[in-house]
Amino acid sequence: MSARQRLPNVSGSSSWDYIIEGVMFFIIHPELWRHVMLPACCSIIVAIISLGVLLGTALVPQMHLLSEHMATWLAWILAILLVFVESGFVVALVCLILFETYEDRLVVHTMRLRGVELPDKGGTIGFIRQIFFAVIRLLVQVLFFFFSLPIHAIPVVGTGIYCGLNGWVYGWSLHAKYFELKDLSLGQQITFLRKNFMDYTLLGGAGTAMNLVPVAGILFYWTNVVGAALWAADMELGEVAFVRTRTDLWPQQTVGIESEGAVMLRTPEGERRATGTEKQALPHTSIDLSV
């Protein structure tokens, strides 16, 4: 595997925090707004249309179906929640199909603002590969969506379980452009996602919950992209300064490895225990070169 393809082991990082940070980062960086204006306007139109159609065609049938298993008043509440979830899924589906390019630009711009810029091959082959991966993710998301819909019959808890079940796949989708920039194959992506299952589940679960917020969920869809890009950028910044097992590739780079609770520094001059100040200066991310 090339140096460009090396990915961090993100265990221990608070991945879901980046969903919140993405909102704040987006607000204070107006230069990112231009990537979102057109997709957001189109998403609002799609949301209004889909919500109207679902309220008119799916609300009552879903209520009758749910009322066979619970009180009528509760069936109405859950049926309304289902309509919002279904409308949100329609919006996400449209964004995935029509606005993939806008997401990519937003990811690259966000990472650049964070101080990270990875070479983008682009071109026809890269575009075809990107579409292929997007279709795979879309199929998996559709399957997860329909199989997890019945869980909404459980008040409140069901929505949380739904977010968790769909979180891993959505987390994968949020880092799709990052994996493309790292030039990872589908197998390498899945391996990395499996090794960091909980981190991506938390990232995607928090993002899914934000997407379910009525109206504001349309904006949160894009701030989720920003948050995931910030996480990817921080991984890269950590990769530059923290753990390396092959110092021959970066012979002048000071690197840190954890050993029996202590942090050791491996430098060209040798290996020694890090001081308190040096430990604080090290990023809180480690690198796993086995992917």
Helix and strand element counts for the chain (H, E): 12, 5
**Confidence bin at 128 (pLDDT 50/70/90):** low
- Domain ranges in the chain? 3-240, 242-291
The predicted model gives 203-207 an average pLDDT of 91
Q: Residue 242 carries which DSSP code?
A: S
DSSP string of 70-108, one letter each residue: S-HHHHHHHHHHHHHHHHHHHHHHHHHHH-HHHHHHHHH
Element (H, E) at 258: strand 255-259
The pLDDT value recorded for residue 223 is 94
Residue 174 has pLDDT above 60, yes or no: yes
**Confidence bin at 46 (pLDDT 50/70/90):** confident
- pLDDT above 90 coverage of the chain, percent: 16
Among 2-6, 93-97, 171-175, 237-241, the range of highest mean pLDDT? 171-175
The pLDDT value recorded for residue 281 is 56
The pLDDT value recorded for residue 7 is 55
Q: Average the pLDDT over each of 38-52, 68-82, 113-127, 271-285 and give the range with the smallest value.
A: 271-285
Separation of first and last alpha carbons in the chain: 8
Residue type, 61: P
Q: Answer whether 285's CB lies under 8 Å from 234's CB.
A: yes
Residue 23 has pLDDT above 90, yes or no: yes
The pLDDT value recorded for residue 140 is 74
pLDDT tens profile 87-117: 877 877 777 667 777 888 899 999 999 988 8
The pLDDT value recorded for residue 83 is 86
- pLDDT above 70 coverage of the chain, percent: 66
Q: Does residue 56 or residue 123 have the better pLDDT?
A: 56
Residue 268 has pLDDT above 80, yes or no: no
pLDDT tens profile 130-169: 667 667 766 776 777 667 667 766 766 777 777 877 888 8
Q: Which residues contact 92 (CB under 8 A, 6 or more apart)?
A: 141, 211, 221
The pLDDT value recorded for residue 269 is 56
Q: Which residues contact 55 (CB under 8 A, 6 or more apart)?
A: 83
Average pLDDT, rounded, for the chain: 74
Whole-number Å distance between alpha carbons of 18 and 207: 9
Residue 65 has pLDDT above 70, yes or no: yes
Residue tagged 């200066």 (tokens) = 281
pLDDT tens profile 207-263: 988 887 877 888 898 999 999 999 999 888 874 333 333 233 333 333 444 444 455
The pLDDT value recorded for residue 274 is 61
